[in-house]
Chain A
Amino acid sequence: MAHFTKATSVKDWLNQRLAVEKIEKVMASEYWIPKNINFLWAMGMVLVITFALLVVSGIFLLMYYVPTVDEAFYSVNYTIMREVDFGWLWRHIHGVAASVVFLVIYIHMFTGIYYGSYKKGRELIWVSGMLLFVAFSAEAFSGYMLPWGQMSYWAGMVITNLFAGGSLHADGLVEWIRGDYVPAQAFLGRFFMLHVFLLPLAIMALIGLHFAALRIPHVNNQDGEEIDFDAESKKYLDGDKAGSKVMRFANDFMSKDMMVVGIFLIFFFYLVFWNYSFAMDPVNFDPADGLKTPAHIYPEWYFLWSYEILRPFNIDLGLILFGFAQVIFVLLPWLDRSPNAVPANRRGLFAIWFWVMLSNMIILTAMGKLPPEGVFSQIGLVSAVLFVVQWIALPFITAREKKV
């Protein structure tokens, strides 16, 4: 039977019941972080903080938002923006954070690709990270429906139509997702539920999985060095802090993380107060109208690259390539056949692959924003084809890589 003694302090009382000291060690003071990492490793913490900002601002929006097709638009653009004291602040924080969070996610992802942080026991970190990307995409899309403006309506129309599967004509599936022939009350209600409850819950669970998957392999480092964490942490605990290759997560590494977070927050609130309009599409300041399409329908910037892969082709091929673009990143740990988990600049052809992939995705993003005409269509077509070719070539390039 468990044996309890009279507690000598609050901490001891908690220790006997919750093992708080042990938990603190596993999660913080004896969670070892390599010393040779740079500011790019702080992006995870920046993401946690941005998610917290979304949750807090979302809670305040939720108190005045009305999820009906007649009132949603006015509850956002009139009640929240004009009547509620500081309502504009929550809305600006929410909108700017929803946009910036994707910028940070992309930096976080490409950092992982550059340093090979998806290999050698870190596959599950990568997979859970990609699931987070999918969940955030769904969260952003469902949130975009809520103000029920023109862009909400027409983005909802176009994106749900993707589920008809082109020539498969699964119109029944599309109507089932919408609960109506067109986006209407049933649609707004269910996307509201997804946005404020089910998807945030899934995101929190996935963040838990992401961190758990990180605990045993530990974070990678900028030199691709294989660190013996047991030996190095022993050195540290025995007093040789300078000679050890690792340090404590808290408070030692955290202090560096929070420094980066601080700089990020200054930039973030600069955007919230003075430069928020990039996160609010002007077209969405017109109420939804099912009989009038806006002149140009384009998604938010973070979806443009995959949207551009859909656009130049006929519907079936477009959908297949779009689906390909959505899932292919998940398979990276298995498509990369090389044994090297080192920075891309030491991996020969892979370095070129990396920089071409990054630049091409920026080009696709730019072309996705421009109207589908003339030379832009052609550049978009070439870029979309290049994207697919690069992924097909990846296993061949990496299989020939020499061990470094």
Chain B
Amino acid sequence: MHNSSRRGFMGKAFGAVAGVGAVGSLVAMKKTWDPLPSVKAAGFTTLDMSIYKENQLVTEKWRGKPIFVLKKTAAMVASQTDEQKERDIVVDGSHFMLAIGLCTHLGCIPAYKGEAEGFLCACHGGKFDWAGVVTQVPPPRGFDIPPFKIDGNKVILGEVGPEYKQMKETGITL
């Protein structure tokens, strides 16, 4: 009896030490898998918005991800529905579709097939129009819009400006 309670105590004492060690090592392991500070820091890209041509898709790069920039034609701007207008980004009087060029389904890059057909994702058949609104599932929502700040005729990706903040708050982008 005396013995067994002593063993019981030793068992519990070891359990406590091992428990602390186990939790500690799990924390270390989790943190080791986190993105490195250098990866997180390298996150800003500046775009000069005056160089783009109307209805020509250009793919820029931000945090390793493709960024779609499409300057809208006057006809496009005139025909915008409310849903399309919400996503419109106006820089220096020109209207743009600016978005992360990854399908919101599982992340393939959709191809731009021109004004009528919009974007087609070859992976599982998703479609988006030229304003970035989803028109065919499986993608659950339109293109995500990266954090941006308008500065004259430039746009800084990675910084949060008032236009982006509003889009985020109203749920237009995630």
Residues of A within 8 A of B (CB): 154, 157-158, 161-162, 166-167, 169, 175-182, 184, 186, 190, 290-297, 310-311, 313-316, 318, 371-373, 377
Distance in Å: Cβ of B22 to nearest Cβ of chain A: 18
Query: Does A295 lie within 8 Å of B122, measured CB to CB?
Result: yes
Point out the residue from A154, A166, A293 that lies within 8 Å of B140, measured CB to CB. Answer: A166
Q: Which of B88-125 contact A (CB under 8 A)?
A: 105-111, 122-125
- Report the separation of the CA atoms of residues A206 and B14 in the bound assembly, to the nearest whole angstrom: 29
- Report the separation of the CA atoms of residues A184 and B65 in the bound assembly, to the nearest whole angstrom: 11
Please list 8 pairs of residues, one from A and one from B, whose beta carbons are closer than 8 Å in the complex, sorted by A's number: A176-B33, A176-B35, A177-B33, A290-B65, A293-B108, A295-B122, A316-B140, A372-B124
User: CB of B137 within 8 A of chain A?
Assistant: yes
B162-174 interface code vs A (CB 8 A; 1 in, 0 out): 0000000000001
Query: Does A161 lie within 8 Å of B106, measured CB to CB?
Result: yes
Distance in Å: Cβ of A136 to nearest Cβ of chain B: 23
Given contacts A169-B174, A180-B39, A293-B110, could you give 16 more A-B pairs where the C-beta distance is less than 8 Å?
A157-B107, A158-B106, A158-B123, A161-B107, A178-B35, A179-B34, A181-B39, A182-B64, A184-B64, A290-B65, A291-B109, A293-B109, A293-B122, A297-B108, A315-B106, A372-B125
Chain A residues with CB under 8 A of B66? 290-291
Point out the residue from B30, B35, B107 that lies within 8 Å of A175, measured CB to CB. Answer: B35
Query: Does B137 lie within 8 Å of A314, measured CB to CB?
Result: yes
Chain B residues with CB under 8 A of A291? 59, 61, 66, 109
Q: Which of B148-163 contact A (CB under 8 A)?
A: none
Q: Using a Cβ cutoff of 8 Å, how many contacts connect chains A and B?
A: 86
Query: Does B64 lie within 8 Å of A377, measured CB to CB?
Result: no
Chain B residues with CB under 8 A of A318? 138
Given contacts A179-B36, A179-B39, A180-B39, whether A154 and B108 have CB atoms under 8 Å apart is yes
Chain B residues with CB under 8 A of A167? 140
Point out the residue from B33, B65, B105 that lies within 8 Å of A190, measured CB to CB. Answer: B33
Chain A residues with CB under 8 A of B35? 175-176, 178-181, 186
Distance in Å: Cβ of A393 to nearest Cβ of chain B: 27
Distance in Å: Cβ of B138 to nearest Cβ of chain A: 5
- Report the separation of the CA atoms of residues A311 and B103 in the bound assembly, to the nearest whole angstrom: 14
B66-80 interface code vs A (CB 8 A; 1 in, 0 out): 100000000000000
Query: Does B107 lie within 8 Å of A158, measured CB to CB?
Result: yes
Query: Does B108 lie within 8 Å of A158, measured CB to CB?
Result: yes
Q: Which of B36, B106, B109 has the most CB of A within 10 A?
A: B106
Chain A residues with CB under 8 A of B59? 291
Distance in Å: Cβ of A391 to nearest Cβ of chain B: 22
Chain A residues with CB under 8 A of B111? 293
Residue of chain A at shortest CB distance from B139: A315
Distance in Å: Cβ of B64 to nearest Cβ of chain A: 4
Distance in Å: Cβ of B42 to nearest Cβ of chain A: 10
Residues of B within 8 A of A (CB): 30, 33-36, 39, 59, 61, 63-66, 105-111, 122-125, 137-140, 174
Closest 10 pairs between A and B when the two form their complex, measured CB to CB: A182-B64, A293-B109, A372-B125, A158-B106, A181-B63, A161-B107, A293-B108, A161-B106, A157-B107, A314-B137
- Report the separation of the CA atoms of residues A333 and B39 in the bound assembly, to the nearest whole angstrom: 47
- Report the separation of the CA atoms of residues A311 and B108 in the bound assembly, to the nearest whole angstrom: 14
Residue of chain B at shortest CB distance from A315: B140
- Report the separation of the CA atoms of residues A290 and B108 in the bound assembly, to the nearest whole angstrom: 10
Chain A residues with CB under 8 A of B36? 179, 186
- Report the separation of the CA atoms of residues A373 and B35 in the bound assembly, to the nearest whole angstrom: 38
- Report the separation of the CA atoms of residues A169 and B139 in the bound assembly, to the nearest whole angstrom: 13
- Report the separation of the CA atoms of residues A54 and B174 in the bound assembly, to the nearest whole angstrom: 43
Q: Which of B108, B110, B111 has the most CB of A within 10 A?
A: B108
- Report the separation of the CA atoms of residues A292 and B138 in the bound assembly, to the nearest whole angstrom: 20
Given contacts A157-B107, A180-B64, A293-B109, whether A311 and B124 have CB atoms under 8 Å apart is yes
- Report the separation of the CA atoms of residues A73 and B109 in the bound assembly, to the nearest whole angstrom: 22
Distance in Å: Cβ of A371 to nearest Cβ of chain B: 8
Distance in Å: Cβ of A144 to nearest Cβ of chain B: 16
Residue of chain A at shortest CB distance from B34: A176
Distance in Å: Cβ of B108 to nearest Cβ of chain A: 5
- Report the separation of the CA atoms of residues A310 and B36 in the bound assembly, to the nearest whole angstrom: 32
- Report the separation of the CA atoms of residues A314 and B107 in the bound assembly, to the nearest whole angstrom: 14
- Report the separation of the CA atoms of residues A79 and B139 in the bound assembly, to the nearest whole angstrom: 40
Chain A residues with CB under 8 A of B109? 291-293
Query: Does A373 lie within 8 Å of B125, measured CB to CB?
Result: yes
Query: Does A293 lie within 8 Å of B123, measured CB to CB?
Result: yes
Query: Does B39 lie within 8 Å of A315, measured CB to CB?
Result: no
Chain A residues with CB under 8 A of B64? 180-182, 184, 290
Distance in Å: Cβ of A369 to nearest Cβ of chain B: 13
Residue of chain B at shortest CB distance from A167: B140
Chain B residues with CB under 8 A of A295? 122
Query: Does B174 lie within 8 Å of A315, measured CB to CB?
Result: no
